[in-house]
A and B are shown apart, each in its own frame.
Chain A
Amino acid sequence: MKYKLRRQLTEKFIELILFLAAASSVLITFFIVYTLVTEAFPFFKEVGLKDFIFETEWTPLFENPKYGIAALVSGTLLTTTIALFVALPFGIITSVFLSEYATDKVREIFKPLLELLAAVPTVVYGYFAMTLITPWLQKIFPDLSGFNALSAGLVMGIMIVPYVSSLSEDAMRAVPQQLREGSLALGASKFQTSFRVVIPSAFSGIASAFVLAISRALGETMVVAIAAGLEPKFGFNPLGPTETLTAYIVQVSQGDLPQGSMGYRTIYVCGIVLLLFTLTFNIIGQTIRHRMEKQVK
């Protein structure tokens, strides 16, 4: 009897510990939101929301500071767009190849190797963009400046190809084999089957892969901080230097910022804007994915 009681107590105790561990993940989210909001809140007491959105200059550490977030947002969107121009076509091609064309053996070899691309530290990619891609691009575009959005965006694109391809490959492989067989039986070629049957059926999975890749590109920091220059500029010129929300945070927090100063507040403001962007894309991506999983069942 005593033994049974002790056993039950241990069970309950362990369940409680595991529950607390799981609940702590909620605590992390709470702390993220809490610190961002409380540290950024005083900023909006000093800067009007209208100036914040419609001003196009971002010079918070100058004598006569201007707080136009649009300058940083445009830089972020610019590098992300360039990255997507690389990651989307390449991601789709590799995923179609791996899921529809490659034999099991080829896939076994290439998949882990592709994942290695995602394992390279971002600071190394930054070095790559600055010392290898930029000089190479300068041969094609002579008026490309030493720090530019183009090479940072291209390298970021290479970086996120594995994310796009592995998620979309999963989606394509989840397409029932009968659909393929039906299409092939009607005389369609493999190419036609892949692009007109498999891709449309896996569409939501592929779409969610893209959306999650966008969110990753938005949050990428080191490549842009190293290779894109650190000049906040409103505009979409890929050949010139630019600055993203993430690069700004890194740039400013490298210096010594006293807690509570206006410079310190601005990194949390940028953090909130960045989080809103990535969160939106994440939620869209997950919703699409969730719907797909339901559909497949």
Chain B
Amino acid sequence: MFDQTNAKLLQQIKFLKAQDVVFWFVGLFVLAGAFIILFALIYDMGQTGIPRINQEFFLNFPSRFAGRAGILAAWVGSLCVVLVTALLAIPLGVATGVYLEEYAPKGWFSRMIELNILNLAGVPSIIYGIMALSLFVYEFGLKQSILTAGMTLGLLILPIIIVTTREAIRTIPNHIREASYALGATKWQTVRSHIVPYSFGGIMTGVVIALSRAIGETAPLLTVGAVAFIAFLPTPPVMAVAPYVSAQWLMDPYTVMPIQMFNWISRPQEEFHVNAAAAGIVLLSMTLVLNALAIFIRYRFRKKYKW
């Protein structure tokens, strides 16, 4: 009788132990699966696209002939648009994050802003696109310009920057603030010379991730009217004659990397799909490099400050 239950128990223990091992492998397998997918994606795209990548591909404008088409307008456009996005979203986002963490009185107002930001983060990107179409393109009369695109993406990534700024600031222990106040510093002096520098790593990580998202974003720019067939560059910001600097490039039409890629995918001809793969590789490298940079920054700063 006792032996029987004992054997049963032993069997059950064996089963549970086996179950644990099996699950460990299942978990590892699923995670590995994720990377196999990522790898398959890069491999497949690379195989199709990499032979297409050469100097001319970066220096040519789009063309009716797949073999002669390039991404010059697209990558220059992407850089210009991201520059506008960064100039809008970084100051606004960091300022909002600092206000909410350091200044805002705890009450219904800050709770409302908080809820509002959470909801904004959940609004699909395409909604920002149609909002910008009505507001920036028609209401403000900015047309299909780099400025419109940059502002649209700026609003889109604003919640990401705000949230990461707040998280970074929240990790700073209170005694740092108290030490600063005790020496007679004002709130702004504390923020400027302690809070922001100490949370700089976290903020930068968020900023870089947000910008990498902006570079890859397609849908909102399609709705505000990015054109895929652009055979000229934006006006250079510096000129040889007076007044030497010009903001005309802000109002120029543009195309960006993901739009160029989408345009090539949408064409029925196979040769253009090769171009799409090549553009995809370039785009993917841009975002992966930015993400690696973010991971690197996070790692560096985590080592630097230990509270």
Contact A253 B95, CB 8 Å, known A29-B119, A32-B127, A130-B265: no
Say if the beta carbon of A128 comes within 8 Å of chain B: yes
Indicate which residue in A10, A124, A225 contacts B41 across the interface (CB closer than 8 Å). Answer: A124
B265-299, CB < 8 A from A: 265-266, 273, 276-277, 280, 283-284, 287-288, 291, 295
Per-residue 0/1 for B103-131: is the Cβ within 8 Å of any A Cβ (1 yes, 0 no)?
Answer: 11000000011011111101111111111
- Give every chain A residue within 8 A of B176 (Cβ-Cβ): none
| B30 A11 Cβ-Cβ under 8 A | no
A contact residues, total (Cβ < 8 Å): 84
- Give every chain B residue within 8 A of A21 (Cβ-Cβ): 91-92, 95-96, 99
| A124 B45 Cβ-Cβ under 8 A | yes
Per-residue 0/1 for A86-103: is the Cβ within 8 Å of any B Cβ (1 yes, 0 no)?
Answer: 000010011011100110
Say if the beta carbon of B16 comes within 8 Å of chain A: yes
Say if the beta carbon of B216 comes within 8 Å of chain A: yes
Say if the beta carbon of B235 comes within 8 Å of chain A: no
Alpha-carbon separation in the docked complex, A19 to B96 (Å): 7
Stretch of B21-29, B65-73, B79-87, B238-246 contacting A (4+ beta carbons < 8 Å): B21-29
- Minimum C-beta distance from B95 to chain A (A): 4
- The listed residue with most B CB atoms (<10 A of its CB), out of A32, A90, A124, A189, is A124
Report whether over half of chain B's contact residues are helix, strand or loop; otherwise say mixed: helix
| A15 B103 Cβ-Cβ under 8 A | yes
Contact A250 B20, CB 8 Å, known A22-B99, A123-B216: no
- Give every chain A residue within 8 A of B252 (Cβ-Cβ): none
Indicate which residue in B91, B103, B280 contacts A19 across the interface (CB closer than 8 Å). Answer: B103
Contact A112 B103, CB 8 Å, known A29-B120, A124-B41, A279-B122: no
Which residue of chain A has the shortest Cβ distance to B188 in the bound complex?
A14
Say if the beta carbon of A1 comes within 8 Å of chain B: no
| A18 B273 Cβ-Cβ under 8 A | no
Contact A93 B27, CB 8 Å, known A250-B222, A253-B133: yes
Alpha-carbon separation in the docked complex, A191 to B27 (Å): 12
| A97 B35 Cβ-Cβ under 8 A | no
- Give every chain A residue within 8 A of B63 (Cβ-Cβ): none
Contact A222 B135, CB 8 Å, known A22-B99, A132-B40: no
| A218 B98 Cβ-Cβ under 8 A | no
Indicate which residue in B119, B127, B218, B291 contacts A283 across the interface (CB closer than 8 Å). Answer: B119
Per-residue 0/1 for A253-276: is the Cβ within 8 Å of any B Cβ (1 yes, 0 no)?
Answer: 110000100000001100100110
- Minimum C-beta distance from A140 to chain B (A): 17
Alpha-carbon separation in the docked complex, A128 to B265 (Å): 11
A10-39, CB < 8 A from B: 10-11, 14-15, 17-19, 21-26, 28-29, 31-32, 35-36, 38-39
20 extra A-B contacts, CB within 8 A, seeds A192-B16, A219-B125, A278-B123:
A21-B96, A22-B113, A24-B92, A25-B117, A25-B120, A29-B116, A36-B131, A39-B134, A101-B24, A101-B27, A121-B216, A121-B217, A128-B45, A131-B277, A158-B37, A189-B17, A218-B124, A246-B219, A268-B134, A279-B123
Residues of B within 8 A of A (CB): 16-17, 19-20, 23-24, 26-28, 30-31, 33-35, 37-38, 40-41, 44-45, 48, 91-92, 95-96, 98-100, 103-104, 112-113, 115-120, 122-131, 133-135, 138, 155, 158-159, 162, 186-188, 209, 212-213, 215-219, 222-223, 225, 258, 261-262, 265-266, 273, 276-277, 280, 283-284, 287-288, 291, 295
| B34 A117 Cβ-Cβ under 8 A | yes
| A25 B113 Cβ-Cβ under 8 A | yes
- The listed residue with most B CB atoms (<10 A of its CB), out of A32, A220, A267, is A32
Say if the beta carbon of A249 comes within 8 Å of chain B: yes
Residues of A within 8 A of B (CB): 7, 10-11, 14-15, 17-19, 21-26, 28-29, 31-32, 35-36, 38-39, 90, 93-94, 96-98, 101-102, 110, 112-117, 119-124, 126-128, 130-132, 158, 161, 189-192, 194, 212, 215-216, 218-222, 225-226, 246, 249-250, 253-254, 259, 267-268, 271, 274-275, 278-279, 281-283, 285-286
